[in-house]
Amino acid sequence: MIAIAIDGPAGAGKSTIARAIAREMSFIYVDTGALYRAIGLYMIKNRMDDDELIVSSLNKIKVDLKFIDKEQKIFLCEREVSGEIRTPEVSMMASRVSAILAVREFLLDLQRGLAEKNNVIMDGRDIGTVILPDADVKIFLTASLEKRTDRRYKEMLEKGLNVTYDGILNDIKKRDYDDSHRKVAPLKLATDAVVVDTSEYNLEESINLVLDVIKKKLS
């Protein structure tokens, strides 16, 4: 099986680019951030504001990835929540729960199991450093803070969400800090990863850029 790991900060376009490449290569796409978002949604829905409480509740939480027509769908306690997890509130909670060691251990086997059984392209914060340290290809996808904020802001507006540019900017700044400073599996560049900066490229160009890196690494 072939494993491709894509890491990078919030708003870098990891999910969009990884999903497109997975279709092109007929790989399974695994959005690991969606798993943490699902647990974050569980915390919000159950009004949990205590890390110890979420840890003690993990045995009640069932998170599943299902692939329907090759599209990833997220299920939380048997209910599809693929749309519900894509809000700024859930995004911030996902960043918080991802710093909890017990949560990461809870999801580790699920993520590695998918890579053992399928050709995968997996994106997140610690795929190349922790989840799949032996991945065949490791990419660190990034872009300037301004570009990432602009892209995320437009994405939220297209979804009809009531957001402001400054609000998205501050959210991304906080996520950048939290993700790179957490004690457990922080966001960092794997020593053998290829850095791809998409600041000056549109989506199609970015996809082709990453695809070229993957093809060269696998050739």
Model confidence pLDDT, tens digit, residues 16-64: 999 999 999 999 899 888 999 999 999 999 999 888 998 999 999 999 8
What was the pLDDT predicted at 192?
A: 96
- pLDDT tens-place string over residues 146-164: 999 999 999 989 989 889 9
**Side chain identity at 149, as an amino acid letter?**
T
- pLDDT tens-place string over residues 154-195: 998 998 988 999 999 999 999 999 999 988 889 999 999 999
Phi and psi at 98, nearest 5°, equal -70, -15
Q: Give the three-class secondary structure for 79.
A: strand
What was the pLDDT predicted at 72?
A: 83
DSSP label at residue 9? -
**Side chain identity at 36, as an amino acid letter?**
Y
- pLDDT tens-place string over residues 64-109: 888 887 678 999 999 999 999 999 899 889 988 988 999 999 999 8
Q: Which residues of 1-28 are buried (b: 16+ CB within 10 A; e: fewer)?
A: eebbbbbbbbbbbbbebbbbbbeebebb
Residues shown for the chain: 219
Q: Note if the pTM is more than 0.75.
A: yes
Neighbours of 218 (CB within 10 A): 11
Query: What single string gives the DSSP state of each residue in 99-111?
Result: T-HHHHHHHHHHH
